[in-house]
Amino acid sequence: MEIKMKTALITGINGQDGSYLADLLLTKDYKIYGMERRTSRKNRVNTGHLEDKITFINGDLADQNSLLRTIKESDPDEIYNLGAMSFVGESWNTPETTGNIDGLGVLRMLEAIREYGKPIKFYQASTSEMFGRVTETPQIETTRFYPRSPYGVSKLYGHWITKNYRESYDIFTCNGILFNHESERRGKEFVTRKITDGVAKIHLGLADHIALGNLDAKRDWGYAPDYVEAMWLMLQHDIPDDYIIATGKSYSIKRFLTKAFSCVGIPDWERYVVQDPRFLRPAEVDVLIGDCSKATRVLGWKPRVSFDEMVSRMVVSDIKLLSGEK
C-alpha cells in the first residue's frame, strides 16, 4: 500500500521558526507550501536554501479570501500558523495592526479551514507573553493569563479562538504555548540577537557598545530547532490539545550578556552596554519560566540544546556572518 506524502502549509515561512520547521518537515518527506505576503522585495534570508525545495505561495493573514485561496491551492494536511507581528516592543506602536494579524488573522485562517471542509490539522503559535504578570511559577497550561502588551493580548485572542473552533466545530487544533526560543536565524530586532550581533561587532572592532533596555528581565530561553519539533509532534498526536514548550530554567538579560561576552573573552561586559530608555516597555513582564512536563509525558518532547550552547552558537554565527565566512 502506497503511503501518501503529507502536505504542510506554513505561514511565516521566512521567519526563524518557519524556516526551521520547513527544514524539519523536509527530513520527514513532506510537500511544503510556505506562505508569504506579496511584496516587491522578498525577505528570504532564512529560506534562501529552501527555494528549490518548497513552494512559496502568496497569502495574507489580513485577507480572508487570500487564505481560502491559499488553502485550496495547497490542499494541506497540516497548517502551521507561525505568521505574526512578533516583536513585542513594536506592538505598542502598532496595536491595531498587531491585533488584526495576531488575533483576527487566526480567526480568518480557522474560518478558511472550516469553509474548505476537508480535515486539516491546525497548529497555532501561542506565546508565553500571554502569561504576562504571572500568577504562579512555573507556568503550566492552566495558569491564569495576564498579558502585558498589545502583542500578548492579541495572541491571547488567537489562542482562545483556536480552542473555541476545536470545541465548536471538531477541528483538530493545537496551541503551542512556546516560551522564548532563539537561534542564529532570530531577527536582529530581538534582544538576544541584538546582543550576539553586538558582541560580534565589538569583537571585530566594528562597534564599541550595545544599547539595551531592561537588563533585569528574566526569560525561559530555548533553542528554536528544538521547539519546532514540538510543533510537529502536537499534530501527530491522536488527540488535539494545548502544550507549554519550555526549558524550565530562567535567565536574566544580564546572564545572557555575561555568556555572550565570555564567548569572545570579555569578562566585564558592563563597560560595553548602555541602557537606553527608548527600549523600555510601557508595561514590563519581569519573569517567565515554563513547565513542559505535559509535553514530555504526552509527546515525548524535551529540550536538547542548553542555554550556554545556544548563546555560543549565536555568537559564533554572527562573527562568521560579519567576517564574510560561510
The one catalytic residue in 151, 157, 165, 227 is: 151
Within 8 A by CB and 6+ apart from 170, the residues are none
Cα angle for residues 231, 235, 240 (degrees, 5° grid): 110
Query: Catalytic residue at 51?
Result: no
Ramachandran category for residue 257: left, alpha or beta (phi over 0 → left; psi -120 to 50 → alpha)? alpha
Q: Which of these is catalytic: 36, 78, 129, 182? A: 129
- 231: Cα separation from own chain's centroid: 11
* CA-based end-to-end distance of the chain: 44
The DSSP 8-state label assigned to residue 103 in this structure reads: I
Whether the CB-CB separation of 310 and 223 falls below 8 Å is answered with yes
Active site residue 127: yes
Other Cβ atoms within 10 Å of 17 Cβ, number:
28
Between CA 192 and CA 235, with CA 186 as vertex, the angle to 5 degrees is 120
Give me the catalytic one of 127, 143, 162, 192: 127
- Neighbour-count burial of 36, counting CB atoms closer than 10 A to its CB (0-12 exposed, 13-18 middle, 19+ buried): buried
Q: For residue 315, what is its C-alpha cell? A: 555568537
- What stretches of the chain adopt beta strand conformation (E)? 7-11, 31-36, 55-58, 78-81, 121-127, 173-178, 181-182, 210-212, 218-219, 222-223, 243-245, 251-252, 273-275
Instruction: List residues with catalytic annotation.
Output: 127, 129, 151
